[in-house]
Chains A and B, each alone.
Chain A
Amino acid sequence: VTQSSRYLVKRTGEKVFLECVQDMDHENMFWYRQDPGMGLRLIHYSVGEGTTAKGEVPDGYNVSRSTTEDFPLRLLSAAPSQTSVYFCASKGTGNNSPLHFGNGTRLTVT
């Protein structure tokens, strides 16, 4: 799972685009945010091409799944509360398959 940006600094109100690409032909893909003391919280996920669903903290975020490989995350108007580390992950079929994570993007919104 590849996340192309490791660090991003944006101003309040700017658009943000976080790329995520996987080459394992996994049906399931996820976006999590990680904040201190809160573990990983699910933002949006997709169970296959053309599908998306809301996770635990979806507000302010948008996703699309036009191909199996790509699952970008968009912030239409960045806010300081969205300062966080963002992880993309993918998972194959099977109830107990592991999640494969990218290395994360640290986003700071000033």
Chain B
Amino acid sequence: TQLLEQSPQFLSIQEGENLTVYCNSSSVFSSLQWYRQEPGEGPVLLVTVVTGGEVKKLKRLTFQFGDARKDSSLHITAAQPGDTGLYLCAGYTGTASKLTFGTGTRLQVTL
């Protein structure tokens, strides 16, 4: 059972465009993380959000945790080719040690 659904699944945009990736669930998460994965490598943590309604910024990336802690979004402003990769959201539920991953959004940014 996939608890976390991401949309869109694929996104191809040009440099300078803005985009938003969504991560939705019917379950409540105690915290949610976003990872980026590049080809041939494992995912790397971008951010952790803990409080409902929390907004965190990482340069041109803005992360928001939904008020009910069931969903999250990632907004990228003025995308660059270096943003290309697979973006994964992941949430902790009842078992603090176990992280459930979303389905992933593959982003390609071209010149």
Contacts and interface: CB of A to CB of B under 8 A. Distances in A.
Contacts of B58: none
Contacts of A37: 9, 103-104
Contact of A38 (B41, B48, B100, B103): B103
A55 B98 contact: yes
Contacts, number: 67
B2 A39 contact: yes
B41 A95 contact: no
Interface residues of A, number: 25
Interface string B47-59: 0101000000000
A89 B97 CA distance: 12
A73 to B, nearest CB: 15
B101 A39 contact: yes
A96 interface: yes
B85 interface: no
A51 B50 CA distance: 28
A95 B92 CA distance: 8
